[in-house]
Structure 1
Amino acid sequence: MKPGTFLLLGLLITARLFLQPIYSLVSDCDETFNYWEPLNFLLRGFGKQTWEYSPEYSIRSWAFLLPLYASLSPFKKIIPLLGLPPSTLFYIARFLMGFYSVVMEWLLFREIDTKLSSFTANIWLLLQLLNPGWFHASVELLPSSFAMVTMLGFMKFGIRYLSNRSATPFIQALSFNFVSGVLGWPFVLILSIPMVFHYVLTHRILATVKTGFASILRLLSVISTIFLVDSAFYGKFAPVAWNIVMYNVIAADENSGPNIFGTEPWYYYPLNLLLNFPIPTLMGCVIGVLSNWRLAPIWGCLFVWMAVFLSQPHKEERFLYPIYPMITLAASVGYTNFWKGRKVSRIVRNTFFLALFILTLSQSFMRVFALVKNYTAPLDVYAHIPPATGPQTICVGREWYHYPTSLFLEDDSRLRFTNSGFDGLLPGDFKETHSMLNSIREIPAGMNNENKFDPLKLVGADECDYYIDIVLPSDDTRDSFDPTLMEDEWVCIYRTAFIDVASSKFLGRAFALPEIFLKYMPGQEIWSRIYEAKYLDYCIFEKQTEQV
């Protein structure tokens, strides 16, 4: 292994296994309530339950959580003996997801090195390391994140297939796509379309039929295994992947389906890519797609994905995760081809790549630093809730969607929601009085798939032992608490800085530099007009009890 490759691998391992698990944010409440909470329920017997886990709808997979549950179960008993907090399980889980990412990235790196070139492989590894989107996405407990990492296997064998046109790597590539789709996110299955078309158009009918039959057998084995596991949990036939497609596409209307949770304009995704990929990477991606038609089926995945999701009104950042590795692959190919056949001096070439590296590193660092500095306050605050000496209630109002996970709570602590003016459907709780399977199979009260408010999900302020919120005046008369007008019985016992989105400029929210750089930045007056980040206190308020 060359010294440069060894260094890149070392940096990648450091980022994925140590930096990302510790410093990455929880970017989506869907990750918290649809995945971390059910995982906490499997491990510790309590957690918040969303309507998606009601057997009536069953559009979330328990099979998806089983690998992490099995991996974390041995640690569940060891952690208390070592005097470590329950959140240790959260960080171990992230470490495991980071490890999975490293393994898959290394496998694809080796394939690129063998089938394309060592230069392309090293550039790809560097761009992966300097990918702000991957920094948080690869350790998120989301089906789209799992699909993103698993699609590296699809790309590995896809490149091998495009090199030798053999049926074996083609079937292996589809197998990775089947697992990422059926176990993870079913919409990822459309990424097989360009590769399937390529195989059909370049092989004889008999070979196509034979390969198609073998591929279908692989798909059926994946489907049957995962559907069997989910059906055992729900106590009924539960084809979760199909239920997801039904809810989001086939049966969607104005009262149910993804659009009731908000819509975005078409340019949401292009702007999102500019945030999560350095501009040099995106420029290299365009060059790669236009200059290497040998990998056209993989580039076709990019076009198919963007065509489908640009047309959907409901858009979210995580919907782009599955194409992240394809963008960095295209960029690495693009920069390889840019220099192919060009007769320039080594000095010119090295200067170009040094400038490219500095630009990529700068944007990546500023983006990652902003995500850590501006948005990780909830992880810090919930980690500082005082240890419970008995049952205690942690309350949250308007900041409910920033709750990280019940893995940050002691065994006797529970999260409850107070009135905040939010008029959508809040999560309920998994029943703790039944056996685990009985609790999973019981249809919970007050659930619906139309985001209709259920007042039974709320508790009164007098039931709270702690209350967590940003210190900002309440703008809704229905709020149970106003942190700026808290009575003497409530005291902020811990606070940390959290970005004030409404008062900060876009560049201040999206990118950040250490204060020492900002202090000596030339043109302060001009810079302050486009870059400004203001912060609020994110607090734990403790109810004060009278001393007897």
Structure 2
Amino acid sequence: MFPNAPGTQSLRFRGPTTASSDAANASEKLKTGAGKKVIKDTLIREQLNRFCGAMYTAISDCDETYNYWEPLHYLIHGHGFQTWEYSPQFSIRSWAYILIHTFPAWIASKVFTLDKRPGFFAIRAAFALISSYCEAKLYRAIADHINLRAARYFLAISLFSAGMWNASTAFLPSTFALHAITLAYSYILEPVSSKPEASKRTFNAVFCLATAVILGWPFVGVLALPFVFEELSMSGEDEIMPASRPVWAMRRFQRLFNSGIMALVLIALPVFLIDSLAYGQLVFVPLKIILYNVFPTQGSGPELYGVEPWYYYFLSLGLNFNIVSILALVSLPCLWLTKTFSPTVGLRLGTRLRHAHQSTASDLLLIRLAPVYIWIAILSQQPHKEERFMYPIYTLISFNAAVTLSLVRGWFEDAFVKATASPYRAGRTSLFGLFTRSILAITIFISAARIFAIQRYYHTPLDIVFHFQYNELPVRAIQSYPSFYQNLKLNTSLPILEALEFAEETVDLSVLKNERLNVCLGSEWYRFPNRFLIPNEIDVKFIDGGFKGQLPGRFLNDEDEQLKKIKLSQDEMALDRFWPWLGTRMNGSSFNSLNLPESDRLVDVEKCDYVITLLNDEILKQESKEWGEICKCEKILDNPRSNWLSRLIWIPFVKVFDDLQDGGLNKFSKLCLIKKKSLVGSSD
């Protein structure tokens, strides 16, 4: 048996076998300078995967577009859609959260002056970098304080998870909370103690948790409850005699309290000041979010936006984590079974850390596994449910599943040792490694099939706006204003699009500003990615598509007379120099919290120059003749008409999963960019 290093919880240690010796030695290397290369390699793997997600993942939630990308676009470029949540009357979205994301987009806007798209991907790349760092930190913490085997399982699960592929680079407070919670638990996994150096663990964990709560999503505070319980009541590495426990408890409380006060000063105070400046009134947004969701006014509340059955999150986790979700949910029963029935429980879970009055490794591990259960139990009771509400625990799900897999493998090893009476043979056999690798291979395959399905079935909106910006608009501009583009030195013997591929400069579309072109969104308004992917010279409007709820309005911009007057009257106010975006203090449109339609949102279709709409094959030709010419169409999955299984995953070379051909189980509509008839002759 190998002795535990101080502060290490070991899930299992067998007799002196080669495999366990190698694992122990590898785990020790992670705690020294020799482990730096391992961590660096882990970070590189995470970055490559997350950057791929950042570049190719579609935006799956209109809340991400209108509540986060659009306000950010307003801060960077001066215009954007405004939702009722950003109305000063309601103020339940934090401008502080938006502000901290401006730097990558601002840098991109200075480097790429003719294109906003790099700003969109710069922010996503920043998310990828943050996510990979936090996951690598948690991987190391698992290796240091649980064991290397569980760490490797965690890495494989998290790296290839379909859920993490979508969540890690989404511009959502729940994703921000995911990263902060992941970082917090990289500190929490270290056993608690009252040693002076343990104060750093407490503060780092509290700071990360407070950041998740205040800047991210207030409700993730419940994920801190196991940590608080551990800090205040579990001895951890301390040997506490009954007589000294009151003094010990007071010191622990004081340490936690001081860390909390420091975190509030460092996080809550700046957030309060920024949001108060932005809204022009004293406001603490996290508190308002809680009040809106827990104590809504009559007729309002989150239930207006849909309710789901109690088992919704189990289906969601099954979709995004497949068999991993089952492994995660049975982690506590597996821990209990191991502690109760394993013949080598003292070796597998670790005996008491050193003394009788210290916490056992199994008790500490129970505390680390509990947050997943707490989160699912609480959120399953709420009527309004959305997939993104599970984001904050995604890495913890991977951790729970990794622990389960490690424990179950240990059961098989125990059974093998009992059957063969040979710990040496147990260490030499490859059966156990084959078992765990098979489980991981299955979950990776299913996750890959899910990722491919998302990319192939729902990426169409990004393809359409890409065609609009880099094909339709450049052709129109060059044909309408040929003298303006003489410096491009295009090969006139080639079609314009082919000639543009060899152009040395980006096409400047500013010449189109005087035309005041509008691209309109109909029934598929919720699929619109965001204005970062639409040139500044083009405005985005809504037309009647049959939606009966409240559409987003718009922020007042510098061209609005109302805003100009306010600027003149407040020009000398010192505070305005710290927050120059005065449109955040006003309603650019009329708003309500009841999800009722507002008449000022829609324009007549005749005011549109382009329309992005969903067309079925049977009405495609008719609609085109009535209004204009189809510029581009791409197939997009029609969920209600498609088979439930084939729409969830995509398997290449399997007929029923053939995503873009007739005869499969999936049915498709066409998302199209249509050009107004009056523009057809001018740009063709």
The normalised TM-score by structure 2 is: 0.73
Question: Take 1:472 and 1:48, find their aligned partners in 2: how far apart are those partners?
Answer: 28
Change (3 A) 1:244 1:2: closer
How far does residue 205 in structure 1 lie from its aligned partner after superposition? 2.9
Aligned-pair Cα RMSD in Å: 2.5
Q: Structure 1: which 4+ aligned runs deviate by more than 6 Å?
A: 2-7
How far does residue 88 in structure 1 lie from its aligned partner after superposition? 1.8
Aligned amino acid, residue 537 of structure 1: K
Matched, 1:67 2:100: yes
Match of 2:647 among 483, 506, 509: 509
Unaligned runs of 5+ in 1: 475-480, 522-527
How far does residue 288 in structure 1 lie from its aligned partner after superposition? 5.8
Question: Take 2:90 and 2:408, find their aligned partners in 1: how far apart are those partners?
Answer: 51
Note the 1:35-54 alignment, pairs <5 A: 35-54=68-87
Matched, 1:471 2:609: no
Change (3 A) 1:289 1:408: farther
1:280/1:359 contact within 8 Å kept: no
2:276/2:284 contact within 8 Å kept: yes
1:478 matched to which residue of 2? none
Counterpart secondary structure, 2:100 = helix
2:142/2:151 contact within 8 Å kept: yes
Matched, 1:236 2:281: yes
1:150/1:180 contact within 8 Å kept: yes
Counterpart secondary structure, 1:149 = helix
Matched, 1:310 2:380: yes
Per-residue CA deviations over 1:2-34 (Å, capped at 9, x if unaligned) read: 9987765443221112x1012111111110000
1:477 matched to which residue of 2? none
Question: Take 2:453 and 2:290, find their aligned partners in 1: how far apart are those partners?
Answer: 35
Aligned amino acid, residue 637 of structure 2: I
Match of 2:543 among 394, 403, 418: 418
Counterpart secondary structure, 1:496 = strand
* Paired residue total: 529
Aligned amino acid, residue 447 of structure 1: F
Matched, 1:539 2:584: no
Per-residue CA deviations over 1:357-386 (Å, capped at 9, x if unaligned) read: 320111111111111111111111111113
Note the 1:168-317 alignment, pairs <5 A: 168-202=200-234, 204-221=248-265, 222-253=267-298, 255-280=299-324, 282-283=326-327, 285-287=329-331, 290-291=334-335, 292-317=362-387
Matched, 1:498 2:659: no
Aligned amino acid, residue 116 of structure 2: P
- Which segment drifts farther, 244-253 or 124-133? 244-253
Question: Take 2:594 and 2:672, find their aligned partners in 1: how far apart are those partners?
Answer: 32
Aligned amino acid, residue 678 of structure 2: T
Aligned amino acid, residue 132 of structure 2: V
Change (3 A) 1:15 1:482: same
2:650/2:657 contact within 8 Å kept: no
2:327/2:400 contact within 8 Å kept: no
Matched, 1:130 2:160: yes
1:369 matched to which residue of 2? 452
Question: Take 1:482 and 1:164, find their aligned partners in 2: how far apart are those partners?
Answer: 71
Per-residue CA deviations over 1:142-197 (Å, capped at 9, x if unaligned) read: 00011011101111111014488844413321211110110010001111112212
Aligned amino acid, residue 420 of structure 1: G
1:472/1:483 contact within 8 Å kept: no
Unaligned runs of 5+ in 2: 1-34, 236-247, 336-361, 418-425, 474-508, 568-579
Change (3 A) 1:145 1:174: same
1:100 matched to which residue of 2? 130
Change (3 A) 1:408 1:276: same
Which of structures 1 and 2 has the bigger CA Rg?
2
Matched, 1:440 2:510: no
Aligned amino acid, residue 596 of structure 2: K
2:593 matched to which residue of 1? 449
Question: Take 1:94 and 1:518, find their aligned partners in 2: how far apart are those partners?
Answer: 34
- Which segment drifts farther, 315-324 or 65-74? 65-74
How far does residue 75 in structure 1 lie from its aligned partner after superposition? 1.5
How far does residue 502 in structure 1 lie from its aligned partner after superposition? 1.6
Match of 1:383 among 466, 469, 479: 466
1:86/1:410 contact within 8 Å kept: yes
Counterpart secondary structure, 2:455 = helix
The normalised TM-score by structure 1 is: 0.91
Per-residue CA deviations over 1:308-339 (Å, capped at 9, x if unaligned) read: 11110000000111111111111111222223
Question: Take 2:140 and 2:546, find their aligned partners in 1: how far apart are those partners?
Answer: 53
Question: Take 2:646 and 2:674, find their aligned partners in 1: how far apart are those partners?
Answer: 28
Match of 1:156 among 180, 183, 186: 186
How far does residue 249 in structure 1 lie from its aligned partner after superposition? 0.8
